[in-house]
Amino acid sequence: MTDLPPRCAGVLLRGCGSATPARSISNDELGDRVETSDTWIRSRTGIAARRIVGREESLTALSAKAAEAALQMAGWSADSLDLILLATSTPDDLFGSAPRLQARIGAVRAAAFDVTAACSGFLFAVITAAQYLRCGAMQRILVVGADQLSRWVDWDDRRSCVLFGDAAGALVLEASIDGQDDLGGFLLRSDGSRGDVLQLPHHRDHLPLVGSASHQKGGFESIQMNGQEVYKFAVREVPAILDALLQKTGASAEQLDWLLLHQANQRILDAVAERFSIPQSKVLSNLASYGNTSAATIPLMLDEAVRDGRIQAGHRIASSGFGAGLSWGAALLRWSGPA
């Protein structure tokens, strides 16, 4: 754990929550749509099912449900929040959905804005929130990671449609001036030169405007992914950044209680754990039930493990988010829980 700069506040993790759509779609059901099977999907990804937002559901509604659960755990009212960060790449409104979330939960004092970093988004947003808390500008912050990737999946592409699902997860953080700090260190990385291996690109449609001028029509393609390259990126960069963070902070893998990675592929989780000789009993995974929910995977898994008692107060967690951008990061966390 690193020392804080003079007069710099610590960060406390006070509550978490999550929400998933009602409808779960199994691998066998997907096999009725595309040429695939439960055995094929499980053996390559570890995924057995995924949740998909239905007609009466929305990203904002899921985010609000997760946020309210986190606030309830912390024992906070929504009007005590100073800031809301919504990590999402699939907002209900392209101008930003965080203000809608702010209004929906009644956080009348809070500023709110979106953070877009795809599967790294939640971790990037938590680290961003920590800076507001450390400098004393704010006291309480809600971070939500939520994505509705089912909007942008080509459901006839069996290479990608089996991977993704929808969900929301939330974490509330509080500034501390008593020396306690639940964020022991972090590292962030981006490499746009490799961004085309996982992207959701804008349509390149041009329509006549006036005279010889044209305009670009709004809209996006489906998710485009080079699965082999994404896998190689993850198994190379995630261990490297975690190793660099452990060295930077003077921590060791043996001191960790849990490894909590972005839930993209079980083989990635296994490879990272093997690199650090972390036993499977310390690797958190719910990938089988939800698939890759992008910015929601880490807080969704965190909430599940806190509520079922696996994660206890004082437990140390190494976390890493990685994905489109390309972007990736790592953080050493400690769970404090409600005051």
Point out the residues that are catalytic. Answer: 119, 262, 292
The DSSP code sequence of 204-242 is --EEE-STT-EEEPP-B---EE-HHHHHHHHHHHHHHHH
Q: How far is 3 from 113, CA to CA, in rounded Å?
A: 30
Residue type, 35: E
Q: Determine the Cα–Cα distance for residues 107 and 260; give it in Å rounded to an integer.
A: 29
Contact status, residue 187 vs residue 248, Cβ threshold 8 Å:
yes
DSSP one-letter code for 58: -
Strand 214-216 to 316-323 pairing: unpaired
**Residue 40's CB: how many other CB atoms inside 10 A?**
14
Before 333, cis peptide (omega within 30)? no
Tell the residue number behind the tokens 């979106």, with chain if given: 114
Q: CB of 97 within 8 A of CB of 59?
A: yes
Q: Of 292, 244, 248, whose CA–CA distance to 266 is shortest?
A: 292
Sheet holding 316-323, edge to edge: 183-190, 327-334, 316-323, 258-261
Helices within the chain (DSSP H only): 27-30, 38-45, 59-74, 98-105, 121-134, 227-249, 266-275, 287-290, 297-307
**Residue 131 · residue 85 · CB < 8 Å:** no
Contacts of 66 (CB under 8 A, 6+ apart): 17, 18, 19, 144, 146, 168, 169, 170, 299, 303
